[in-house]
Amino acid sequence: FHAKENQMGFACYQREMTEKLIEYRAVQEKLSLALEHDEFFLVYQPQVNIQSGEVIGVEALLRWRSDGEIVPPTRFIHLLERSREILPVSNWIIRQSCRQLAEWNAQGYLVEVSVNVSVLQFNDPHFITCIKNSVNEFGIDPRQLDFEITEGLLIENVDEAVAKLHEIKALGSSISIDDFGTGYSSLSYLRLFPVDRLKIDRAFVKDIPTADDGVIASSIIVLAKSLGLKVLAEGAETQEQLDFLARHDCDEYQGYFFSRPIAPDEVSAFFTKASPQAVNHQRND
């Protein structure tokens, strides 16, 4: 009796696995065509200066329009990594961000765009060339680009990572540590790597102002300040959280409280026009 039940259980399990595999292959196949079918697009979430309330930049976040449905990156980035298709897609993301920046610049908006960097992309020997090419193609100032790197990216080959970050800095772009606090526990790397900004992971912002999580967020702020780094809080959703962050001298925040990630023409409504002199100055650089 038990054997039979097990067998039936196994049959069910096997069918489930087969269905999963078929679904997985279907997604992989659609995904592999997504770039040439022009199904990727970027949405932008404002990054706000807490003191002035000004939108100083945006984070570019990838979306995939598949069969009329919008798929979030958490469902496909890992698949792109696995098939290495993340490389051409990342290249597209950088070009698209530069193209968008050029358009905003032409409208008189001098914002920064933060671009998320994937593991393979960071280790790709063409990464820096790809940035240079896009910057030149669209005639933008590389200081308007910020690259978001996770801690995990930096620990594999420290010397190479340090060298690569210095190359990015040499272009004039800035570097942020994304999801700070969730990765590697060693803080010594912060002295090693030429980093400009820490982005406090949403997990530590979520439960502010309950004591424990507040303590971690405020400690990260103190740490950033004492290292001379900027600090941005991710995922702020309430006035209470924002008040807490302001009280603890956090520089910037991102979150649904201000805005979800939105389309380029929607997000530009939040931008402040730069003075004509600033625009000219930037163009003549």
Report the partner that residue 72 touches, choosing among ligand C2E, Mg ion, none (CB closer than 5 to 8 A by kind): ligand C2E
Quote the least distance from Cβ 117 to Mg ion, whole Å: 9
The Cα–Cα gap between 133 and 94 comes to 10
Report the partner that residue 62 touches, choosing among ligand C2E, Mg ion, none (CB closer than 5 to 8 A by kind): ligand C2E
Binding-site ranges for Mg ion (CB under 5 A): 116, 146, 148, 174, 178-179, 234
Based on DSSP, count helices (H) and strands (E) in the chain, helices before strands: 13, 9
DSSP per residue over 234-256, as a string? ----SHHHHHHHHHTT--EE-ST
Pairing assessment for the beta strands 112-116 and 145-150 based on DSSP bridges: parallel
Alpha helices in 139-187 (DSSP H): 151-154, 158-171
Nearer of residues 61 and 221 to ligand C2E, judged by Cβ: 61
The Cα–Cα gap between 233 and 220 comes to 10
Is 207 a residue that touches ligand C2E (CB under 6 A)? no
Is 48 a residue that touches ligand C2E (CB under 6 A)? no
Report the partner that residue 174 touches, choosing among Mg ion, ligand C2E, none (CB closer than 5 to 8 A by kind): Mg ion
Gyration radius of the chain's alpha carbons: 21
Binders in 49-108 for ligand C2E, by CB under 6 A: 60-62, 72-74, 77, 93
Which residues would be at the binding site for ligand C2E (CB under 6 A)?
45, 60-62, 72-74, 77, 93, 116, 118, 148, 178-179, 202, 234-235, 237, 254-256, 261
